[in-house]
Amino acid sequence: NFLNVFVLYTWFWSQIQDEFRGGKINLEKAQKLLEKLDIRCSFVHVKHIFKDNDRLKQGRITIDEFRAIYRTIAHREEIVEIFNAYSENRKILLESNLVQFLTQEQYIIEMSKTIATEIIQKYEPIEEVRKARQMSLEGFTRYMGSPECLLFKPECKKVYQDMTHPLNDYFISTSHNTYLVSDQLVGPSDLWGYVSALVKGCRCLEIDCWDGAQNEPIVYHGYTLTSKLLFKTVIQAIHKYAFMTSDYPVVLSLENHCSPSQQEVMADNLQTTFGDSLLSDILDEFQDRLPSPEVLKFKVLIKNKKIGTLLETRQRKGADKHGKVEEWEEVVEGEEEEDEWKDSMSDNLLLKDNQEKETEGKKMRGVIFGKKKTRKVKIALALSDLVIYTKAEKFKSFEHSRQYQQFNENNSIGETRARKLSKLKVEEFISHTRTFITRIYPKATRADSSNFNPQEFWNIGCQMVALNFQTPGMPMDLQNGKFFDNGGSGYILKPEFLRDANSDFNPHEITDSNPVTLTIRIISGAQLPLTNTSSNKADTLVIIEVFGVPQDQAKQQTRVIKKNAFSPRWNETFTFIIHVPELAMIRFVVENQVLITGNEFLGQYTIPLLCMNKGYRHIPLFSKMGESLEPASLFVYVWYVR
């Protein structure tokens, strides 16, 4: 049955000997040779291992020394152990052994011999072995490190959910203050904020619009020193990138501070730039309910205040709206937050310089947070008529919404108020989000653009939980992790219990649940990232966090492996009981233990529980800013049952 194992040795030498014809090789050549052999490695780690193996300390190594380096990096002990457990002679896996491994450990559904054959064809580098339909350790290692063995399920990489439900049935990837860009991000222009959000699959952008010179509306963060962009320019950039990552509709949420005449310019800009993709009329089959993401593919929707009803809009179609303006009075309550106080100021002030804005702003805030106040709202008909399914309507109470709110109206609620409501009236809140698109935004006092934990609002079905995309940290890790699902389309179908009118789901009181038992063995790390302060001798540990309904929140961690960022082995098993798996997210954080100043973050990965593959899997790590840290990874064994 077995191939002559001699071919295993000759293969390696035949691959590398040419490189050594001229004698020893240096670090750069060694790195290139590893790449040629298809071994993923990070230069910093190779550098350290090279140094350890360069016995004469000449900066050059022999062919034997190279072989030692190759084995250190490629032949990871924990993988060799698995290989040996399934190989009868510890040298070769027969196809039947591979089938056994895939069925017993990797939970491959509908396992067939063809799958094993394909894996061998794809990953076995030694030709003789491949032809004999067997697999060497070389092939097995390459397979285990391949995308097929990632923790993330390939099914979730595609749009697999039913996209024909009405918009209110989805969680929608939403950003807050989209124009802001933190200094850490590349790109000279603030436009990058919009572009990077769209490229990440964000489907609801916020645009803060103000009157500019020469009747050209501009975009910037009111009352701050952020630089200004022409509204036109922003719209053009959005047009270019809107459907690069996802085909599903983009909502432009206008934070509108413009005078009616500049609102007309905005309406005009929107129409000329987006043309037919701008949804400017109600769809025939959707006169009294929201259309689905499927129906609205490649469409741009405008969210703004609106005058009157959709029917009135329709009747006006084709009429000349130039110069037509509606005006009404609105009461501003005491506990309003950011958007509201900005709004009310804009009506009263047309400010010239930032100094003046600052002081006026402070005065105004005092007034508004104190007591009730009325303000005038003016809207150009031309802009109002572009608002179809996403009419911004002030949230008053659940009671008021039940009685008066129209299907195409939705509310923005500040995080503080939303949090209070979710504690006091959770059932009413959930029944509200079943019907109306609800947007939650960060409170104004988060001047540092920090984020809140979005999970608590997903738990009650809020569709648009708006985060500051430019601010790294746990909330953005959850946001990115959640929306990797469903093909990165920016729309995730809410679990049935948050859509079904007969469900009495309450995230704070889970009664008749059918929990999932999740077991994760953190086996090892590979080539963990090095930072300025940590070296390849970092003291590493892994934290596993579970986010979900309050009962499911949990956090456990491994012990610390001292002085090893290259190949720490923990081999520790953790078990979690998860009552609402549909809402659960798992976050893996790798840290360097630093006793006095606190641990240092090295990398993380966040994934919805139901997107996790079972079996032996590797987990790619991401930096704080969300950049890939490849080839840094964790190797785990995951298992869950309901």
Ligand X SMILES: *[C@@H]1O[C@H](CO)[C@@H](O)[C@H](O)[C@H]1NC(C)=O
Active site positions, annotated = 176, 221
**Least Cβ distance, residue 124 to ligand X (angstroms):** 26
Which of 170, 171, 389, 566 binds ligand X (CB under 6 A)? It is 389
> Which of 437, 439, 409 is closest to 288 using CA atoms?
409
The residues in 551-610 that bind ligand X, with binding defined as CB under 6 A, are 571, 573
* Residue 529 vs 608, nearer CB to ligand X: 529
DSSP state string for 322-363? TT-EEEEEEEEPTT--HHHHHHHHHHH---SSHHHHHHHHHH
Cis check: omega of the bond before 515, within 30 degrees of 0: no
Q: Are strands 628-641 and 569-578 parallel, antiparallel or unpaired?
A: unpaired
Question: Based on CB atoms, which residue is closest to ligand X, 251 or 476?
Answer: 251
Which span (130-138, 268-276, 384-392, 414-422) binds ligand X, by CB under 6 A? 384-392
In terms of CB distance, is 161 or 253 closer to ligand X? 253
Provide the minimum distance between the beta carbon of 265 and ligand X in the complex, in angstroms, as a whole number: 22
Instruction: Estimate the share of the chain in helix, then strand, then coil, as percent rounded to the nearest 5.
Output: 35, 25, 40
Which sign does the torsion angle of CA 276, 279, 282, 285 carry? Answer: positive
Distance of closest approach, residue 509 Cβ to ligand X, in angstroms: 28
Q: How many whole angstroms separate alpha carbon 15 and alpha carbon 33?
A: 9
Q: Specify the residue, 439 or 617, whose C-beta has the smaller distance to ligand X.
A: 439
Chain-centroid distance, C-alpha 60: 44
Using CB under 6 A as the binding rule, the residues of this chain from 166 to 225 that contact ligand X are: 167, 204
Least distance from C-beta 148 to ligand X, angstroms?
23
CB 217 within 8 A of CB 231: yes
To 10 degrees, the CA torsion angle through 486, 487, 491, 496?
-10
CB of 532 vs ligand X, minimal distance in Å: 4
Beta carbon nearer to ligand X, 167 or 609: 167
Which residues, numbered 276-305, are part of the site for ligand X (CB under 6 A)? 301, 303
Q: Does 253 bind ligand X (CB under 6 A)?
A: yes
Q: Least Å distance between CB 490 and ligand X?
A: 12
Distance (Å, rounded) from C-alpha 327 to C-alpha 280? 22
Q: Rule CB under 6 A: is residue 42 a binding residue for ligand X?
A: no
Residue nearest to ligand X (CB): 251
- With the C-alpha atoms ordered 110, 113, 115, 119, is the resulting torsion angle positive or negative? positive
H-type alpha helices, 425-563: 426-435, 455-458, 474-484
**Residue 76 engages ligand X in binding (rule: CB under 6 A):** no
- Distance in Å, CB of 636 to ligand X, minimum: 12
412 touching ligand X, by CB under 6 A: yes
Residue 547 near residue 587 (C-beta atoms within 8 A): yes
Q: Which is nearer to ligand X, 134 or 422 (CB)?
A: 422
Give the interface size with ligand X as a residue count (CB under 6 A).
Answer: 18
Binding mask 414-453 for ligand X (x = CB under 6 A): -----------------------x-x--------------
410 counts as binding ligand X under rule CB under 6 A: yes
Per the CB < 8 A criterion, the answer to whether 437 and 463 are in contact is yes
Choose which of 46, 242, 267, 464 interacts with ligand X (CB under 6 A).
464
Q: Which H or E run contains 438?
A: strand 438-441
Interface residues with ligand X (CB under 6 A) are: 167, 204, 251, 253, 301, 303, 389-390, 392, 410-412, 437, 439, 464, 532, 571, 573
